[in-house]
Amino acid sequence: MTADTLDTVARPVHRRTTGTRFALWARRLGWRHAVMLVVVAFAVFPVLFVVSAALNPLGTLSSSQLWPTGASFDNARALFDSTPFATWYTNSLFFAVTNAAVTVLLSALAAYAFSRMRFKGRRVGLIGLLVIQMFPQFLAIVAIYLMFSDLGELYPAIGFDTRWGLLLVYLGGALSINTWLMKGFFDTVPKELDESAQMDGATHAQVFFRIMLPLVTPVLAIVALLVFINTINEFLLASVFLRDTDAQTLGLGLHQLVDSQRNANFGMFAVGAIMLSLPTLAVFWFLQRYISEGLTSGAVKG
């Protein structure tokens, strides 16, 4: 990254002027508000059209007008009436929460090993994690399908239309770039901390659970959120695994609503998309305090 472009980020700070309160505020916080207002506008305006489509009884997703021709909850009612919405919602949340929780655990375990230990295959493992994700996933679907057809015959509990089968496939991606992200964060925790704990007689497991994990809370929260969002919006693998209406997720159900363009119902789709974003925002709201306040300065000194 060149300095020129980042210049824009910091430029509002540069002018050191008089000591009036306003100037001080502008220097310390004003530019922050200015940046945020611009970004928020950019972030929010397309979303408004989705809200508009959700209210528009015509069932179209269109940016030609922000105000719907008539505001009604017909789309929402249609979605709740014609689909097993509650079941889908529950399924989506199950996958998102479970996958996020287990992925955070598995990824943190691996990141700890990558960060604190030196072993054969460490470098290859790290690079491999990055590289394996570059293979286009939609091609591997056929392989996964064939694999689970066989597995499902032997073990109906992890076959198609079961939660555990799909969850296993999701967990296959538990070690990923997220592990790099975590490792990077683990690296910034000074080694002196765990070394002194070891001096006091702690095992490596105790160091990991009692010392490391609390110190890396922000990155745990971030990875949890990233996995949560990806899982709740996932529909490609879900469409392969889940046929039974009651086993499906909301993301998949929504995909089916608009996949066939001719019968697409964007109104219902928009309602569903908004409903799907609510848990994400709730989780983010819950986790964001850990993200930014997990570390009070001074707890960790380099």
Residues 149-188 that bind another protein (CB under 8 A): 149-150, 152-157, 159-164, 167-169, 171-175, 177, 179-181, 184-185, 187-188
Binding-residue total with another protein (CB under 8 A): 178
Locate 268 and state its tokens: 């219902």
- Work out the angle between the directed axes of helices 217-233 and 266-293 (0-180°, nearest 10): 170
Chain residues 236-265 in contact with another protein, contact rule CB under 8 A: 239-240, 243-245, 248, 251, 253-264
Distance CA 191, CA 156 (A): 47
**Is the CB of 21 or the CB of 154 nearer to another protein?**
154
Chain residues 32-51 in contact with another protein, contact rule CB under 8 A: 32-33, 35-36, 39-40, 42-44, 46-47, 49-50
Is 295 a residue that touches another protein (CB under 8 A)?
A: yes
Gyration radius of the chain over CA positions = 24
Is 57 a residue that touches another protein (CB under 8 A)?
A: yes
Residue 30: CB minimum distance to another protein, A: 11
**Is the CB of 71 or the CB of 101 nearer to another protein?**
101
Closest CA to 220 of 255, 188, 182: 182
Locate 245 and state its tokens: 């209406």
Cβ–Cβ contacts within 10 Å for residue 253, how many?
Answer: 26
Is 80 a residue that touches another protein (CB under 8 A)?
A: no
Is 24 a residue that touches another protein (CB under 8 A)?
A: no
Chain residues 111-140 in contact with another protein, contact rule CB under 8 A: 112-113, 116-120, 122-123, 125-127, 130-136, 138-140
Roughly how many angstroms between the first and final C-alpha of the chain, as a whole number? Answer: 25
**Is the CB of 20 or the CB of 117 nearer to another protein?**
117
Q: What angle do CA 191, 209, 111 make, to 5 degrees?
A: 60
Distance CA 234, CA 173 (A): 13
Residue 102: CB minimum distance to another protein, A: 5
Is 204 a residue that touches another protein (CB under 8 A)?
A: yes
Residue 200: CB minimum distance to another protein, A: 8
Distance CA 229, CA 222 (A): 11
Locate 85 and state its tokens: 């919405």
Residue 20: CB minimum distance to another protein, A: 19
Residues with Cβ within 8 Å of 206's Cβ and at least 6 positions away in sequence, in order, are: 197
